[in-house]
Amino acid sequence: MACRPLFLVVLISLISVSVCLDAYAFDEIDESLYFPSVVQGHHGNNNNVCHGVNDPQIRQNDSARINDTLGENLKYCSNNSGDGLPNDGCDTASGGDRYCTVTGGDIRGLHTNGQNSFKYSHEAGGGIDNCLNGDTFLLGDDGNTQFGKIVVYNACTVTFSANHSEYRLKNILARSGATIILAPGDYFVEELKLESNCHILAQGDVRIFVKSAIEITGAKINESGGGNVLLFGYDKMTLNGSTIIKANLYSDNHIYMNGSSTLHGRVTSRYLEMNSNSEIHDQTATPSLLSHYRIEFSSGALRCTGKDISIKACADADCTNELSDPVSVELTKSGDVYNNNVFSGNTSTQLWHTAGDTVTVGLGSTAPSGAYFCYIDGIEVANSDCTLDYADAGFILNIPNELSNKPQEDLEITAVKISETSSLCVPTFQGVSKTVNFWSDYISPDESQRPASMSVFIDDTALGQSYSAKTPITLAFDDTGKARFKLNYADAGTLALKVNYAGLVGDEDEMLEMEGSDTFARYPVGLCVSPETICASANKDCPGFRKAGETFELSIRGMAWQSDGDLDFCDNLPTANYVQSNIDLSADLVAPAEGVDGTVGLSVYDHTAQSNSLNLLSQSIDEVGVFSFSATPPADYLAEGILIPKAYSQAVGRFFPNDFKVYGYGIMPACMAGLYSYMDEPFRLNVSVRARNVAGETTENYFDDFASSVAFLVAENNGNGIDFQTRLSGMPSLDWSQPALGVQEIDDDILFSRRLDGIADGPYTLLDIGLRILDDDGVLIDDADMNAATDDICAISNSCNAKRLSSQRLIHGRIVMENVYGSEAETLRMPTTARFWDGDLWAVNTLDSCTKVIEPELPEPTQVVYSPILDGAQQVSRTNAAGNTSASDFSTGRFSLGWQSIVSTPNRYRGQVTAPLVVPSWLQWYWHNDGDLSDPQASAFFGTYRGHDKVIHWREVE
């Protein structure tokens, strides 16, 4: 007797081991060992690093990118450095770009035999070889876990039951929007081929083991992040097109990523090749964006017809935004699964219950998993109170959504009851008039948001807004049980229209109770976008309104329908209860025509319910010009697929620059060696100017008729407040043309002129030269630091109006030639000096080693005076100090001319020769006292010795 319990214990132990082995047919995978980084290579289950690995182990081409590497070397034996490796294929620790670098070693891989060998299917559960659009299949619910070929397309859905932790399949071939929902567990698939926007959704921890080569083209695996997925390939794996996968990938062969395929997860493979725009991000654990699910329906249901149920996947707490990725949701009726729904955002389905009585509506399994909430007639109720009473008789209402304030004619209400012989609906009232009670309930916006509570009208009668204020309306029902009525509601939002009827005592329908309801939406015909002012001309003639980037008031209202064909909504009735989030704001350029649109300061706003629907916004535009401002509501108002059209304001403007930025400036003196310039001598100016908005960005639309600024130079010496503006010239006009894109770059010669009255002045040793800009809109230079017309400190007196560019030394100069005397047999040296007015006299400019004498030789004969005239072949020459006629420079303000009476028969020339020297115009002087500038001149006296100036008398002796 003692042996039997022992045998039972052993048997139970064996069964437990068997179950354990079945549940964990493939070893548990330690991700810290086999997926230590975002990508890595492996050499199989071998002790030797890089064992049997050919070069390169990782190859990147084109614009392929691996993110989240933290700037570290990748664990690979080799890469294709020098052979097409992109310079931005990996990220740095700070998110920048770099070449992918490798460690020179890889990791040890998993063993793929024994416990980890592939598990084949015996196909006892059959397969799916075709499906009709929208078909759904549940596998594993009947106990089968091994299947043959699964081929799905045409938006069909296959769901694997959560009753098992392991499935084996011959093939999975999915395309054309098909969806496969995987419960937690392991899936052994001999062949996996996914394409054409099909989806695999995971409801928990899922591992997919594939024996042959994997091909995925334009498909999505776990894109919502609803599960943790491992895709394991015993053979190679190829991702093409716009494939998106959120999973870890392991291959005992190659992984190829092509096209724009994107992986959010980690990769371990013997080889990895990435081409085109493929990307890898280390985001396997990114949680789903799902906030919760919602079930929504109106109260009341009938046994003879299905009840419309709305299911939403919400991305935020108030369900303003819905999940864009596909979800899978089981709808339950009193705890039992009624149907499965795969959708993105929201869906609608019908729930039938012909047996009558009360049912509880709920959700079963969901992927991604999440809580759900129940709303009846727009009011949240506890999930345990999410019930529907299926009545024998009632009213069927179907009120389409419509524009606010637009009457709906010939709406139908049908009085029905369940047939005594079938589950079909038959008329309750036929060919009679009945008085039924109507009232409305607000659903959205709720009372806390609602500034007004307008009445719904039926046949021009205002309805009460609660059951206690219900309004009786007499309707004529025809032989089919239908009656017609007119409905209108002038505001926006979602409402419920409710109706009931109670047979009176003594009537043939005594004790009859009937109810019905339907929800409907009313929405604005459009928005009215109104700036604080408009400009009808919409061109350059618009007065200055705001600086580019400066805020102004923009009002937006939701407006009700007034008449068909109406295009100006701003004089319509406002919809005070209009509420919508994430309305895009933008601006369209009206003028100048060739400009850019610019960027608005406020790009999105949430419209809230307000009296008169008036939402006041602070808006701005960062560009110059005239603009129309617009508002574009999202395309799904009230989650009803309602599109409220984009609205435009009238022309607004003119917007003009905030300031002018002067930058990159400098002035180069004409004589760099001496750091001075002569008056009237050109010297170089370099300066750039750009028109800017409030944020300091260039306004590219400041051109042609929208640019009115002029620039000029100002100057003062040593801050004395005497403006020499009129003596500065050469500053070119600003060419604000469209190609300049709001920027002016000046590189030109300017000059400081001498006085017009011929009086010498200066020197100006600290001549501050500045740039001043005048603009019709009063736009000023940023960081102005100069006022040439005042001797006070402009920063203190707040009078700065120019930008100081440089301080220069300007002097009034002239060249002076002295007469020279000597023997006709000698070279006479004529002193020539560069002089400047030092305030008292003409001093030699010892800083001048820049002035060049271009033609030291004598000028044309008509400009040379001989006294006496030349005799026969006599000649006189003039050269530079070196004895030639090459151009040469002054040195420390001095230059020497060499005069010679050339030997000829019968003798050399004796007499006075007078001639000018061609000098730069800025070194000419009024030598002839005729008011005109001219070159200097002097005489060479051959055959005469002048002697020393201090000798009073010379006497010649033998």
State the amino acid at position 786 in one-letter form. M
**Percent above pLDDT 90 for the chain:** 84
Nearest 5°: the CA angle 935, 939, 943 is: 165
- Of 878 and 176, the structure prediction assigns the larger pLDDT to 878
pLDDT for 787 beyond 80: yes
Phi, psi dihedral angles at 570 (to 5 degrees): -70, -15
Distance of alpha carbon 654 from alpha carbon 698, whole angstroms = 17
Q: How many CB atoms lie within 10 A of CB 928?
A: 10
| Confidence band, pLDDT 50/70/90 cuts, at residue 667 | very high
Res 203 pLDDT > 90:
no
Local confidence band at 446 (pLDDT 50, 70, 90 cut-offs): confident
- Read off the pLDDT of residues 264-286 as tens digits, 9 standing for 90 and up: 999 999 999 999 999 999 974 44
Give the torsion through C-alpha atoms of 218, 634, 311, 287, to 10 deg: 60
Assign 205 to helix, strand or coil.
strand
Could you give phi then psi for residue 545, rounded to 5 degrees?
-110, -60
Residue range 885-906: mean pLDDT, rounded: 90
pLDDT at 533 > cutoff 80: yes
Look up residue 84 and give its two tokens.
Answer: 């097409």
Do 599 and 616 meet the contact criterion of CB atoms below 8 Å apart? no
Provide the 8-state DSSP code for 322. Answer: B
Q: Give the span between the Cα atoms of 76 and 71, in whole angstroms.
A: 15
pLDDT score, position 225:
80
Q: Which residues contact 206 (CB under 8 A, 6 or more apart)?
A: 182, 183, 184, 185, 186, 187, 222, 227, 228, 229, 230
Asked whether the predicted pLDDT for residue 25 surpasses 90, the reply is no
**Strand ranges, E, within 247-298:** 248-257, 262-264, 267-274, 279-281, 292-297
- Geometric angle at alpha carbon 283, from 280 and 287, rounded to 5°: 145
Answer for the pair 328, 159: CB distance below 8 angstroms, yes or no. Answer: yes
The answer to whether 127 touches 152, Cβ cutoff 8 Å, is no
Per-residue pLDDT, 880 = 94
Q: ∠371-374-380 over CA atoms, to 5°?
A: 115
Q: Any residues with CB less than 8 A from the CB of 336 and at least 6 apart, and which?
A: none
**E strands, 657-729, in order:** 659-668, 677-678, 683-692, 710-717, 728-729
DSSP-assigned letter for residue 925: B
Residue linked to tokens 């080889």 = 271
Closest CA to 888 of 928, 856, 914: 856
Query: Taking 80 as the threshold, does the pLDDT of residue 20 lie above it?
Result: no
Q: What is the pLDDT of residues 558-589, one digit of tens each?
A: 999 999 999 999 999 999 999 999 999 999 99
Q: How far apart (Å, rounded) are the C-alpha atoms in residues 757 and 266?
A: 86
The residues, any chain, with a CB within 8 Å of residue 668's CB and separated by 6 or more, are 683, 684, 686
**Residue 321 pLDDT grade (very low, low, confident, very high; cuts 50, 70, 90):** confident
Mean model confidence pLDDT for the chain? 92
Residue 580's DSSP bridge partners are: 607
CB 800 within 8 A of CB 785: yes
Three-class SS state of 154:
coil
| pLDDT at residue 945, rounded to an integer | 57
Residue 110: pLDDT band (50, 70, 90) is very high
User: Distance of CA 560 to CAs 407, 636, 777, 860, Å?
Assistant: 12, 18, 40, 93
Q: What is the pLDDT of residue 905?
A: 65
What tens digit of pLDDT does each residue of 709-766 get? 999 999 999 999 999 999 999 999 998 999 989 999 999 999 999 999 999 999 999 9
Query: Tell me, what amino acid is at 711?
Result: A
Token pair 């580019």 is found at 548
177-181, 622-626, 693-697 — which is least confidently predicted? 177-181
Give the number of residues written for the chain: 958
Task: Give the model's confidence band at 53: pLDDT under 50 very low, under 70 low, under 90 confident, else very high.
Answer: very high
Q: How far apart are CA 12 and CA 6, in angstroms?
A: 10
Q: Which of 501, 308, 516 is nearest to 412 (CA)?
A: 516
Q: Residue 957 — very low, low, confident or very high, per pLDDT cuts 50/70/90?
A: very low
Confidence class for position 22, pLDDT limits 50, 70, 90: very low
If we measure between CA atoms, which residue out of 598, 585, 663 comes closest to residue 626?
598
Distance, in Å, from the CA atom of 46 to the CA atom of 86, rounded to the nearest integer, reads 31
Q: Has residue 354 got a pLDDT over 80? A: yes
pLDDT number for residue 288: 60
Instruction: Report whether pLDDT(1) > 70.
Output: no
- For the cut 50, the answer to whether the pLDDT of residue 242 exceeds it is yes
The Cβ-side half-sphere exposure at 945, using a 13 Å CA radius, reads: 10
Alpha carbon 678 to chain centroid, angstroms: 54
pLDDT interval class at 21 (50, 70, 90): very low
The closest alpha carbon to 725, from 714, 733, 740, 737, belongs to 714
Q: What is the DSSP letter of 383?
A: G
What is d(CA 894, CA 873) in angstroms, rounded to the nearest whole number? 33
Burial (0-12, 13-18, 19+ Cβ within 10 Å), 61: middle
Average pLDDT over residues 351-374: 93
What number of CA atoms fall less than 13 Å from residue 651's CA on the CB side?
Answer: 18
Segment holding 428, helix H or strand E: none
What average pLDDT score do residues 913-938 get? 96
Q: Which residue has the higher pLDDT, 143 or 196?
A: 143
The H or E element that residue 11 is part of is: helix 3-23
Phi and psi of 271, rounded to 5°? -140, 145
Q: What is the mean pLDDT of residues 91-105?
A: 93
Beta strands in 669-708 (DSSP E): 677-678, 683-692
pTM of the entire structure? 0.68
**Three-state secondary structure along 111-133?**
CCCHHHCCCCCCCCCCCECCCCC
606: pLDDT confidence band, cut at 50, 70 and 90?
very high
pLDDT band at 904 (very low <50, low <70, confident <90, very high): low
- Sketch out the chain's domains with CATH numbers: 136-281 (no CATH), 292-391 (2.60.40), 394-523 (2.60.40), 528-655 (2.60.40), 659-811 (2.60.40), 813-942 (2.60.40)
Contacts of 48 (CB under 8 A, 6+ apart): none
Residue 536's pLDDT band (cuts 50, 70, 90): very high
Q: Confidence class of residue 125 from pLDDT cuts 50, 70 and 90?
A: very high
Question: In angstroms, rounded to a whole number, what is the distance separating the alpha carbons of residues 403 and 743?
Answer: 50
Residue 309, C-beta contacts closer than 8 angstroms, at least 6 positions apart? 295, 296, 297, 331, 348, 349, 350, 351, 361
CB of 833 closer than 8 Å to CB of 699: no
Cβ pair 234, 269 in contact under 8 A: no
The residue with greater pLDDT, 954 or 41, is 41
Res. 826 pLDDT band, cuts 50 70 90: very high
pLDDT at 907: 85
